[in-house]
């Protein structure tokens, strides 16, 4: 049995990160609404990234890690842009260039609400 970690892009541009043992069923619940307060208020939602894991523990651990990432790093992950994931994994003072990769949001907020 596979377990999944996933990221949804919500209609208000916020991100939702979760894990499940049935990705198809869980996405249907998010799309329908009523099963998750966060996404129910922000429909429609779009799946932007999902990764399977052999155990629930690994999927949950991945959720906890990815959930804390910056908006820019989540967007890089969704694009499979490993150079940008690596760039945003470093503290700003340790990044090799003064500017982020082209077209990348530098918001530190993980849900995209600009801290509001």
> Domain with 58 in it: what CATH number?
3.40.1440.10
List Cβ neighbours of 17 (8 Å cut-off, separation of 6 or more): 5, 6, 7, 8, 63, 66, 67, 74
| pLDDT exceeds cutoff 60 at 112 | no
List Cβ neighbours of 41 (8 Å cut-off, separation of 6 or more): none
pLDDT digits (tens, 9 = 90+) for 28-47: 999 999 899 999 999 999 99
Domain match, 10 and 63 both = yes
Domain match, 57 and 81 both = no
Domain match, 96 and 43 both = no
Domain match, 64 and 11 both = yes
Domain match, 9 and 62 both = yes
Domain match, 74 and 64 both = no
Cα-Cα-Cα-Cα torsion 85, 90, 95, 100, nearest 10 degrees, comes to 40
Look at residues 47, 68, 89 and tell me which one is the last residue of a structural domain: 68
Span of 20-29, 66-75, 98-107 with lowest mean pLDDT? 98-107
Hey, which residues does 46 pair with through a beta bridge? 9
Is 86 within 8 Å of 46 (Cβ atoms)?
A: no
């Amino acid at each position: 049995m596979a377990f999944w970690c996933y990221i949804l892009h919500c209609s208000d541009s916020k991100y939702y990160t979760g894990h499940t043992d049935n990705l198809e069923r869980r996405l249907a619940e998010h799309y329908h609404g009523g099963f998750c307060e966060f996404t129910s208020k922000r429909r429609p939602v779009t799946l932007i990234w999902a990764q399977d894991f052999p155990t629930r523990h690994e999927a949950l651990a991945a959720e906890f890690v990815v959930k804390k990432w910056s908006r820019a790093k989540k967007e890089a992950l969704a694009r499979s842009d490993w150079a940008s994931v690596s760039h945003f994994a470093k503290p700003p003072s340790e990044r090799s260039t003064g500017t982020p990769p082209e077209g990348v949001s530098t918001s530190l907020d993980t849900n995209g609400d600009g801290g509001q």
